[in-house]
């Protein structure tokens, strides 16, 4: 499936930002200021809030990566932004809200219905995006993955051999099946956890970290609440990727 560029913009630091469409899925590619060598690629994951809303934060991460010589790319998640809603996931989200409002425990059934359809649909899309991007002369391997819905990151790390290292952001609502898949992950991992994120299930995050089969895995836990990842933690994640992608 070929990739079509839809927009093109040269940012003030020389980074080239191009919107693209792949089989109707919108995406963005950032490549470092022109040089002769093709750039290794980081896939930028994000929460299901829609690419337009996430754009400023994604562009900031891509520009930091470009300063290290890396290209970055992202695509819209299934059911987010301008893509068709996923009815089953929307129903599970309603069930989740009802359970939380009633002070009831969130059942495994709700978690599975909320997360697994998203993972099942998103991961093949990220892999197809990788197929298309790696045909571009300005992009090369190895490939890293960073951020986003952690269950998508786990599945991608488990099944996609071109991804050599991943930065994962700890999150709640992790299906048991994903914890089991984590045991099959072997690539180096750097897991960011906001220790005082009250909306996050810390114990679930620690159990998932423990489950990863990787011989090299690092848990980097910090304070600052859900969105308050300290600058030094972002820099450490960048150093991790650079170490494994060079």
- Figure out which of the listed residues 206, 211, 225, 234 binds its own copies, where binding follows CB under 8 A: 206
Q: How far is the CB of 229 from its own copies (least distance, A)?
A: 11
* x-or-dash string of contact with its own copies, 172-201, rule CB under 8 A: ---------------------x-x------
Candidate ranges 24-32, 33-41, 104-112, 208-216; the one touching its own copies (CB under 8 A):
208-216
> Would you count residue 222 as binding its own copies (CB under 8 A)?
yes
> Would you count residue 221 as binding its own copies (CB under 8 A)?
yes
Question: What SS3 class is residue 89?
Answer: helix
Length of the chain: 246
Q: What is the CA radius of gyration of the chain?
A: 18
> Would you count residue 218 as binding its own copies (CB under 8 A)?
yes
- The partner residues of 26 in beta bridges, in order of sequence, read 21
Tell me the C-alpha to C-alpha distance, in Å, between residue 217 and each of 158, 190, 205: 14, 6, 14
Q: How far is the CB of 214 from its own copies (least distance, A)?
A: 8
Q: Report d(CA 216, CA 9) in Å as an integer.
A: 38
Candidate ranges 10-18, 20-28, 144-152, 212-220; the one touching its own copies (CB under 8 A):
212-220
Please say which residue, 179 or 206, places its beta carbon nearer to its own copies: 206
Q: Report d(CA 157, CA 97) in Å as an integer.
A: 30
Q: Report d(CA 241, CA 236) in Å as an integer.
A: 9
């Amino acid at each position: 499936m070929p990739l079509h560029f839809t927009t093109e913009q040269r940012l003030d630091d020389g980074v080239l930002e191009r919107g693209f469409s792949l089989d109707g899925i919108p995406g963005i590619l950032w490549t470092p200021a022109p040089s002769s060598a093709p750039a290794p690629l980081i896939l930028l994951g994000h929460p299901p809030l829609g690419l337009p809303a996430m754009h400023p934060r994604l562009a900031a991460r891509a520009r930091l990566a470009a300063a290290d010589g890396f290209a970055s790319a992202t695509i819209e998640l299934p059911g987010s932004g301008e893509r068709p809603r996923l009815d089953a996931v929307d129903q599970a989200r309603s069930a989740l809200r009802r359970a939380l409002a009633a002070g009831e425990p969130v059942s495994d059934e709700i978690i599975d219905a909320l997360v697994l359809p998203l993972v099942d649909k998103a991961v093949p899309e990220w892999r197809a995006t990788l197929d298309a991007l790696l045909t571009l002369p300005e992009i090369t391997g190895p490939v890293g993955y960073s951020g986003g819905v952690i269950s998508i990151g786990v599945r991608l790390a488990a099944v996609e051999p071109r991804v050599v290292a991943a930065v994962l952001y700890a999150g709640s609502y992790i299906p048991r099946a994903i914890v089991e898949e984590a045991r099959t992950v072997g690539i180096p991992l750097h897991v960011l956890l906001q220790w005082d994120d009250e909306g996050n299930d810390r114990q679930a995050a620690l159990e998932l970290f423990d489950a990863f089969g990787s011989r090299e895995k690092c848990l980097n836990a910090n304070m600052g609440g859900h969105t308050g990842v300290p600058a030094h933690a972002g820099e450490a994640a960048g150093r991790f990727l650079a170490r494994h992608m060079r």
